[in-house]
Structure 1
């Protein structure tokens, strides 16, 4: 999902993957996100996700990473050089609800889902609205 500076959804993508270990799927999603950002010519990006082992590995702690994900996670470190600014941040699962809503929706419609802020599937739109309320409440608290 691509967001603007205010946290609003600009574009969102989801796709199905062949059956594999969850950590390998998470690693593949990170690589796909980087490739999408390159295609969109984004220069300043933050890749967020709730797969702590993947984000720890990308940020230097590869000892605890699953062997299958290690190979995939070498790519994000190399792809990082393409961007002016790129960082990888682990977030708690409850902060990643829009992404999870997207993944649940993709298998219902087709193997790949692309949408933008004006067209979001209903469950994703609801998750975005809850997310924006959370973002706004945090902003007001600061």
Structure 2
């Protein structure tokens, strides 16, 4: 080995280069929802970089939670860069900045559970299946599946008997998991006024997105600022509509439809009788449990 960086082959490998100077790493930093231009920050040593992760200058006036989120993202990014470096060096895989960026965002979404946030409704994590809505209300389950060039979002509306009211999927032009999840919630909220039920419950398994929409004191990332503000305003005038977090196992029907649509590149509303088999089986099983 000649000692050059295996990710760019343009400079000698070092910790500073690998995580901050390498074009591959710089691209990943810029794709974060902070849009970090890591090349504009001067690092004299790795300790400077650690201090940057612990106390980023652009978040100096933000709450501790924002800084903890950035530290989590930075730790995940560095781990993924190191793993990609080893795969290139020892397994001879090709660089895939889109795939790595998507994986970082997914891991960040999974691990970024807001601390001490109990201001919004959520289904207990001990619940293992979909629960029908009470009385004359109905539920809209939403989810997103992220691909290398675009994402798929799905919405599934059911009444208290578990009977299907509407199911559909849509292609969205983003590969950011959090943005795709928010777009799915936006679609569900746009359908709510025409449903005509006493109460509408939108369920998502993205806890961070649900937290952003319900906790008005939480400042959304700048990439989602406009969309989150729009949805918060929408929710403020829809007093019979709520957005709740549920565990993944309670959101299987929307999760399955989003994944199927992405893999088959098939989008749109689904008429009764032409649903994918993987989707229909979940609907039937959960409707039987609702009776």
- Please, which of 108, 122, 130 is the counterpart of residue 277 of structure 2? 122
Unmatched tracts of structure 1, length 5 or more: none
Deviations 1:54-84 (A, max 9, x none): 1011111663754323331222222225545
Out of 16, 24, 37, the residue aligned to residue 192 of structure 2 is 37
Structure 2 contact 162–286 (Cα < 8 Å) conserved: no
Change (3 A) 1:71 1:132: same
CA RMSD of aligned residues (A): 2.4
Taking structure 1 as the reference length, what is the TM-score of the superposition?
A: 0.78
Alignment partner for residue 261 of structure 2, among 99, 106, 109? 106
Alignment-derived partner of residue 175 in structure 2: 20
Instruction: Give the drift of 1:131.
Output: 2.7
Aligned equivalent of 2:250 = 95
Report 1:13-92 matches (<5 A): 13-38=168-193, 40-43=194-197, 44-60=199-215, 63=218, 65-81=220-236, 83=238, 85-92=240-247
Structure 1 pair 67–20 and aligned structure 2 pair: CA distance change class (3 A): farther
The structure richer in strand per residue is 1
- After alignment, is 81-90 or 14-23 more displaced? 81-90
Q: CA deviation at 1:114?
A: 0.7
Deviation at 1:11, TM superposition (A): 1.0
CA contact (8 A) 2:170 2:268 kept: yes
Equivalent residue of 1:29, what SS?
helix
Following superposition, the deviation at residue 13 of structure 1 comes to: 1.2
* Structure 2 counterpart of 1:2, from 134, 157, 161: 157
TM-score between the two structures when normalised by the length of structure 2: 0.41
1:42 Cα deviation (Å)?
3.3
Q: Which has the higher contact order (CA 8 A, sep 6+)?
A: 1
Identify if the C-alpha distance between structure 1 residues 84 and 65 changes in structure 2 by more than 3 Å, giving closer, same or farther. closer
